[in-house]
Structures are given as structure tokens and as C-alpha cells.
Amino acid sequence: MSSSELQTELSAKAYNLLQEDADKIEKLIEIQMANLSTRKCPLYEEVLDTQMYGFSRQVDFAVRAGLIEEMAGKGLLSKLERNLSQLVELMNPKE
């Protein structure tokens, strides 16, 4: 296996692992959106914040290590941030 093939394989694996982690966080967001009766649950908010921070650090590491492109990492993060923003809007409707 050549060096470029190995790099391509590692990049694909890193992206797929990050996508799996993003999907898990997405699931947490979906659960919260489906159960809005638990509005303002500090524990749940703390878990989401912690998951998002950890995920952003994973993405940063993968980008710095050259495993994924910066734009791909930003894409994963921005999708999660948009969904989290929607959740916050649903939990705090403007009156």
C-alpha cells in the first residue's frame, strides 16, 4: 500500500469516526427536541455542551493531524451547531 493510499484510507476512517460521533450528538439533540416537556434540564444541557466541546476538540485534532480537511471538519461542526441552535430556540420561544 502506497503512502498516498494509506493517507486516503486514514482520512476516510477519521471522517467516518467523526461522523459517527456527530450522529450520536445529533441523536441527543433529537431526543431533547422530541421531549420538550423536559425544558431547561440543566443536566441535559450540560451533557450536550460537553459533547459539543469534546467533538470540536476531536475535529480540531483530526484537522491538525492532517486526517481530514478543515472544511470537512467545519461542515460537521456547523451542522451540529445549527441543530443545537434550533433546539435552544424551541426551548426558549419568544413571547
pLDDT, one tens digit per residue, over 15-33 is: 999 999 999 988 887 777 7
- What is the dihedral angle through the alpha carbons of 24, 26, 31, 34, rounded to the nearest 10 degrees? -160
Question: From CA 53, how far away is CA 58, in angstroms rounded?
Answer: 9
- Residue 52 is part of a domain; what is its CATH number? 1.10.287.750
Q: What is the DSSP letter of 68?
A: S
Instruction: Note the pTM of the prediction, 2 decimals.
Output: 0.79
Q: What is the DSSP letter of 39?
A: T
Domain count, the chain: 1
7-11, 45-49, 70-74, range with the lowest pLDDT:
45-49
pLDDT at 41: 67
pLDDT at 48: 80
Q: Which domain holds residue 28?
A: 3-91
pLDDT at 91: 66
Average pLDDT of the residues in 64-79 = 93
Cβ atoms of 37 and 94 within 8 Å: the answer is no
Question: From CA 29, how far away is CA 84, in angstroms rounded?
Answer: 7
